[in-house]
Structure 1
Amino acid sequence: MSVSIRHPLLLLLLLTDGVGADLSSPPLQPLSELEVTPSCSLERLCDTTTDLESRLAEVTARLDRLQRRMDSRLGETEPIPPYSAAVRDCSDLPAGSASGVHLLRPELGRPVPAYCDLTSAGGGWTLLLRRADIRPRRDFYLGWHEYKWGFGELDAEFWWGLENLWRLTSLLDRRYELRVDLEDFDGGRRHALYQGFRISSEEDGYRLSAENYTGDAGDSLSYHVGQRFSTKDRDHDSHGVKECANIFKGGWWYKSCFKSNLNGQYLSGETPPKSYGVVWDEWLGINYSLKMVEMKIRPTKKL
C-alpha cells in the first residue's frame, strides 16, 4: 500500500533516528540549503530541479517502506484511514470499491482493518471469521486476550476480534444481519442467515444475540443465543462439569456444549466421534469438519 505525502506524521518519522535499521538511509539535506537565486544559470536551475525530484522520489520510497512495516504489524500500530470516518462498516465504502482489506471506524477511536466482501449476496459484508484449507495452519485454540482483540491474517484465516464486533454491533442507529457461508470437502455449499445479530460488551461476556434463521444449512446457531463467549482460560459455558473450550479446542459461545463450533480444530471431513472439528451440526452432523467457513455481517437498517 503506498502512502502519499499528505501524512506529515509519517514524513516526520522518516526524518528521525527511530524509524528502524531498514529505513536508516543518510539524512536528507534540508531544502533551505539548496540555493536558488534569480541570478543562477539555467543549467544550475535544472540541476536543482533534478535534485529535488530525486529527493522527492527517495522520500516516497521511504514512506512506502514504512507503510509496509505498518501493514505487517496488524493491530500493533494505528493505521491511517484512506477514507473518512463515515466508513463504519463495509457497506459504507464508496461505490466501485474492491473486495479486500479496508479501514473502518465503527465509532470514535482508532480505525481498524477489516476484510470486506463486496460481491457475495449483494455485497457490503464485514467478515468476522474465515476458516479455510490454507497453510500454514492457524491455531484457534487460544485465550481470551486473542479472541478479544483478534488474530490471524485478514486475507487468510482469521478471527476479527470480539471487541471490534461489539463496537460495530452496538451502534444504536444500525441493525445487523449475520450470514454464515459453509463448504464441505466435496464442493457442496450452504448458508445460514440470521437477523438482529449483535454481541454485548466484555463486562457481560460478549453475549450472543441472533434470531429469525433462514437459509439451507440448518439452524445450528440459535442453540447458542444468550450464551457468553468461552475460551481455554475463561469458562462461561453452561455445562456443569466440562469446560467446553478446553475439551473441543476452540473459542465459542458454548452452551452444553455446542451445535456449531466454527473455531474448532481444522480437520478434514469425517472425524473420530469426538466432534473436535469445524462443525455445523444441522448440515453434515457433529462429526464432520468443514473445509471452508465465513461469518460476515452487514446492516439491514440504518436509522
Structure 2
Amino acid sequence: MRHSESLTKTLNMFVVVLLIPVVAVNAFTESSSKRVLEISERYMSPKTYLIFDPCNTNKPGNRTVSCAQLRRQGHNLTTQYNITPHDKFLVWCDMETDGGGWTVIQRRSKTEGGGTEFERSKKDYDDGFYNSHSSSYWIGNENIHALTTRPNSKQVLRIEMTRNTKEKIIVHYSTFQVGSKEDYYQLTIGGYLSPNGSDYDALKHQNGGRFVIADGSYHCDSCSRSRISGGWWFTIRGCMQSNLNGRKLNEVRPHTKGLGITWYKRGDSSSYQYVYESVEMKIRDADYGFCTGEMAK
C-alpha cells in the first residue's frame, strides 16, 4: 500500500513536470502571436511614398517649377507665367519650338537697338532684369541656379541666334548647370549638337568658368576689360569665344573682337564681328520627350 502511494506521488510529479513546459510553450506562443500581430499592424499598414518623380508632377503645395511642367499641364500659349522653383518669379515660356516647354533665360530682341542695355551691375545679373520696351531680359543667376539644380532637374540648353543677314544659328547642349552664388555661378556645359555643323561649339571654352561682369574685379591675361562687355562666364583660355550678353551692335565694327554679342565659329576669325539681330537662350527638362510621350512617336 505504501508502495502504491509512493508510485502515485511520483507519477503526479512527473505529470506536473511535463505540464510546466507545455504551459510555458503556450504562454510563449500566445505572447509571440500578439507580438507578431503588433509588428504587422505597426509596419505593414499600407503607406504611399513618392520615391522618384522624374517628371516633376508632384511638388509640395502643387508648385509649378518650370515651363516644361506647365506645358505638360496643358498650357500651350507662348507668354509669361509664374513659376516657383524656389521663390516665385515671372518667366517667358516658349510653348511652340520643338514641342514647347522651354523656359527662356535670356533674350536679346530685335527692338533692343544698339547700346549698353546689358551693361549691368553684379546685383542686376544675380537678381535678373527686364526691359519692358524691348522685352530683352536676363532671368537672373539665382533663378538659373535654382532651375538647373532642383531634384530630377537635368536641363538641356537651346540657343537661337539670328544674324543681321537673316542666317539662323541653333545650338543645343545636353548638359547645362549653373552653380551657387558661393561657387560664383560656375558653368557646367557639355553635349554639343547643332544643325549648323560642328564649328559652332563656342560655349565649350567657358565650361567650368565663373560668372563675371566686365566692369567688376576681373583678371584675364588673354583679354582686357576694354574688349569685353556685359556679364558672362569669362575664362582665361577662351574669354572671347562667346558672350551673348555683350553689347548689341547694329553694324560691323572693326577691332571690336569680344565687345559685342559674340559666338565664335571655329576657323572663321570674321565671326568675332558678326552682328546679331536677336538671341534667345532657353532651357528644358532633359527627359521632356520621355515625360510627354514624344519619344514613343
- TM-score tier by shorter-chain length is 0.5 to 0.7
- 2:116–2:247: 8 Å Cα contact kept in structure 1? no
Matched residue, 2:209? 227
* Structure whose residues are more often helix by fraction: 2
Cα gap change, 1:268/1:124 in structure 2, threshold over 3 Å: closer, same or farther?
A: same
Matched residue, 1:214? 193
**What is the aligned length?**
216
Q: Does 1:124 align with 2:101?
A: yes
How far apart are the structure 1 equivalents of 2:251 and 2:192?
A: 25
How far apart are the structure 2 equivalents of 1:134 and 1:85?
A: 37
SS in 2 for 1:134: helix
- 1:116–1:125: 8 Å Cα contact kept in structure 2? yes
Displacement after TM superposition at 1:135 (Å): 4.4
Matched residue, 1:240? 221
Q: Percent identity?
A: 27
How far apart are the structure 2 equivalents of 1:189 and 1:179?
A: 13
- 1:277–1:290: 8 Å Cα contact kept in structure 2? no
Q: State the AA in 2 paired with 1:248.
A: I
Matched residue, 2:233? 253
How far apart are the structure 2 equivalents of 1:138 and 1:265?
A: 6
How far apart are the structure 1 equivalents of 2:65 and 2:281?
A: 18
TM-score (norm 2): 0.67
Root-mean-square deviation over aligned CA pairs: 2.2
Alignment of 1:182-197 (within 5 A): 182-197=161-176
TM-score (norm 1): 0.66
- 1:169–1:197: 8 Å Cα contact kept in structure 2? yes
Larger radius of gyration: 2
Deviations along 1:137-193, whole A, 9 cap, x unmatched?
561111110000011237711111000000111112111000000101121111000
Tell me, which stretches of 5 or more residues in structure 1 are unaligned?
Answer: 1-83
Deviations along 1:237-270, whole A, 9 cap, x unmatched?
6x237554x5312110011322111111111242
Cα gap change, 1:167/1:243 in structure 2, threshold over 3 Å: closer, same or farther?
A: farther
Q: State the AA in 2 paired with 1:255.
A: T
Matched residue, 2:263? 280
Displacement after TM superposition at 1:236 (Å): 5.2
Q: Does 1:114 align with 2:94?
A: no
How far apart are the structure 2 equivalents of 1:292 and 1:278?
A: 10
- 1:228–1:236: 8 Å Cα contact kept in structure 2? no
How far apart are the structure 1 equivalents of 2:263 and 2:117?
A: 19
Cα gap change, 1:223/1:123 in structure 2, threshold over 3 Å: closer, same or farther?
A: same
Deviations along 1:215-254, whole A, 9 cap, x unmatched?
03411100000000001353356x237554x531211001
SS in 2 for 1:285: helix
Relative contact order (alpha carbons < 8 A, sep ≥ 6): 1 or 2 greater? Answer: 2
Displacement after TM superposition at 1:271 (Å): 2.2
Q: Does 1:164 align with 2:146?
A: no
